[in-house]
Amino acid sequence: MNTLPLAFTAAAVAMFISQFWKVFSPVLRGKPPVLRNALQSGGMPSAHTAAVASMTLVSGLCEGFNSSIFAVALVLTAVVAHDAVKVRGTINTLIRILRKTVDPEILEKEETLPDTVGHTVKEVAAGFILAGIIAAGFQLFILQ
């Protein structure tokens, strides 16, 4: 079976749902949708984690969880999740520290610092949960 279209579709669906959620979740708190969230990094859930984890799970379902393609995808998923929390999450901490310690006039002269770049563990976990839901949907409705 050619896994590529299914794995790619699962990743695309995960990215779309994640970004859609980031735009429209403020509505649940009585606020308007925030369209800029669709193009920004960070936030709930981790779209990158959801995408690679969906791709990994669908590849495993199609090719087998003992296949080489699943192993490669699993390593990629681990790298992306680690990067989201440890590397990019550290950048979030540094941005918060800079905003508290650096003179606001200096920050105004520089390019605007983003609100978020990385993810918390909860946001990455939500990405994994979304990936599981998407993979289950593929198993129930497409892979039968």
Predicted local confidence at residue 113, as pLDDT: 65
Tokens standing for residue 110: 């520089």
Predicted local confidence at residue 56, as pLDDT: 97
Q: In this structure, which long-range contacts are made by residues 57-62, counting pairs with CB atoms below 8 Å and at least 24 apart in sequence? A: 57/10, 57/131, 57/132, 57/134, 57/135, 58/3, 58/6, 58/7, 58/10, 58/134, 58/135, 58/138, 59/3, 59/7, 61/135, 61/138, 61/139, 61/143, 62/1, 62/3, 62/6, 62/7, 62/143
42-67 exposure pattern, b = at least 16 Cβ within 10 A, e = fewer: bbbbbbbbbbbbbbbbbbbbbbeeee
29 in Cβ contact with 72 (< 8 Å): no
Predicted local confidence at residue 116, as pLDDT: 65
Predicted local confidence at residue 110, as pLDDT: 63
Q: Residue 125 and residue 139: Cα distance in Å, rounded?
A: 21
Predicted local confidence at residue 115, as pLDDT: 64
pLDDT along the chain (144 residues), means of 10: 83 95 92 86 87 97 95 97 83 80 72 70 93 96 86
Domain boundaries of the chain, sorted by first residue: 4-78+121-141
Tokens standing for residue 85: 């929390």
Predicted local confidence at residue 126, as pLDDT: 94
Q: Residue 60 and residue 3: Cα distance in Å, rounded?
A: 9
